[in-house]
């Protein structure tokens, strides 16, 4: 009996030992724990590509290449631009040579400069038309001063910009003071000449040379159709519009005539007389070029009534 009992006890023990394997599914919860671990594994896998991924490593040199291509600091000077342009041209030699090799391209380049030259040339000015009311007032004042003149036919110059709409031929600036030879000019210029003679020349001559009286002005030039300083090109002279008078000499009733020449260092009464009347001339004319003021005004006194902006005067 005992033997059977031990056999049953051993069998029960064997059965008890065999039951745990039946409970093997109990650790089936471990695959459930492994699933969260597998869920976490993608996080590790996501980190891994960030560390090992080649694209960011490839993108790093790209921003380095971009600043090298524009090179803003080197491209700013003109010298750096010229070689870059040359390289670009060398990169397309066939297209550039094909365009440059066209024989017809040389013709427009030759024609363009001619058009530009025409555009650079000053446009011709029309003949100045007189305001009739102002002209009547000017003629009336000129007669009151005793100037001798006559109205002549309008002058149309040989070139555009030359001419006088209402010219006067002046033979005497004031009574007893002739203009030799007669001069053709606008009334405004003639009136300025008469006023300057009456208010400056005569009184100054009485102080500097009390025993002598002015009798004539030597007319070097009045109306003439030409450019300034007789240049081949450039603006028209005020002489071409009847606005200017050039005086070469002043004749007196006694002694030698006063020749207009540079007298800045002339300490005689004649020198003082000439400097005084030329300086005061800018009170009546808008341009005064005294003898010696420049290379083209060495032997005469230039006077004109050119109107400038703002009433600007040019006196030398």
Instruction: Report pLDDT digits (tens) over 83-128.
Output: 344 444 444 444 444 444 444 444 444 444 444 544 555 565 678 7
Is the distance from CB of 165 to CB of 153 less than 8 angstroms?
Answer: no
pLDDT the model gives residue 126: 73
pLDDT the model gives residue 229: 77
Below-50 pLDDT ranges, the chain: 20-27, 30-63, 65-115, 117-118
Q: In whole angstroms, how far apart are CA 30 and each of 26, 34, 36, 38, 284?
A: 8, 6, 10, 12, 121
Is the distance from CB of 170 to CB of 179 less than 8 angstroms?
Answer: yes
pLDDT the model gives residue 35: 42
pLDDT the model gives residue 110: 45
200 by DSSP, 3-state: which? Answer: helix
pLDDT the model gives residue 277: 98
Give tens-digit pLDDT for 261-282: 999 999 999 999 999 999 999 9
pLDDT the model gives residue 157: 75
pLDDT the model gives residue 284: 98
Is the distance from CB of 176 to CB of 205 less than 8 angstroms?
Answer: no
pLDDT the model gives residue 22: 47
In angstroms, the CA 273 to CA 207 distance is 9
pLDDT the model gives residue 127: 83
User: pTM higher than 0.85 for the full model?
Assistant: no
Q: How is residue 294 written in tokens?
A: 């420049």
Contacts of 280 (CB under 8 A, 6+ apart): 196, 200, 204
């Amino acid at each position: 009996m005992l033997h059977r009992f031990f056999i049953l006890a051993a069998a029960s023990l064997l059965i008890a030992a065999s039951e745990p394997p039946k409970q093997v599914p109990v650790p089936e919860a471990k695959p459930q724990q492994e699933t969260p671990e597998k869920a976490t594994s993608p996080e590790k896998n996501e980190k891994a590509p960030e560390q090992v991924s080649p694209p960011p490593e490839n993108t790093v040199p790209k921003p380095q290449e971009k600043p090298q291509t524009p090179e803003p600091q080197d491209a700013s000077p003109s010298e750096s631009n010229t070689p870059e342009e040359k390289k670009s041209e060398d990169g397309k030699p066939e297209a550039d040579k094909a365009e440059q090799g066209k024989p017809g391209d040389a013709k427009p380049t030759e024609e363009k400069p001619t058009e530009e030259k025409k555009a650079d040339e000053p446009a011709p000015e029309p003949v100045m038309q007189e305001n009739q009311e102002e002209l009547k007032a000017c003629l009336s004042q000129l007669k009151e001063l005793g100037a001798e003149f006559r109205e002549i036919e309008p002058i149309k110059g040989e070139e555009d910009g030359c001419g006088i709409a209402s010219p006067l031929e002046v033979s005497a600036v004031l009574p007893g003071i002739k203009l030799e030879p007669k001069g053709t000019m606008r009334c405004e210029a003639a009136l300025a000449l008469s006023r300057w003679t009456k208010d400056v020349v005569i009184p100054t001559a009485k102080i500097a040379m009390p025993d002598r009286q002015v009798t004539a002005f030597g007319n070097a030039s009045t109306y003439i159709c030409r450019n300034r300083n007789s240049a081949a090109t450039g603006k028209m002279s005020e002489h071409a519009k009847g606005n200017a008078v050039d005086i070469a000499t002043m004749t007196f009733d006694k002694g030698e005539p006063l020749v207009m020449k540079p007298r800045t260092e002339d300490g005689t009464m004649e020198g003082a007389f000439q400097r005084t009347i030329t300086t005061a001339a800018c009170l009546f004319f808008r341009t005064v070029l005294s003898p010696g003021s420049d290379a083209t005004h060495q032997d005469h006194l230039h006077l004109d009534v050119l109107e400038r902006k703002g009433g600007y005067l040019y006196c030398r």
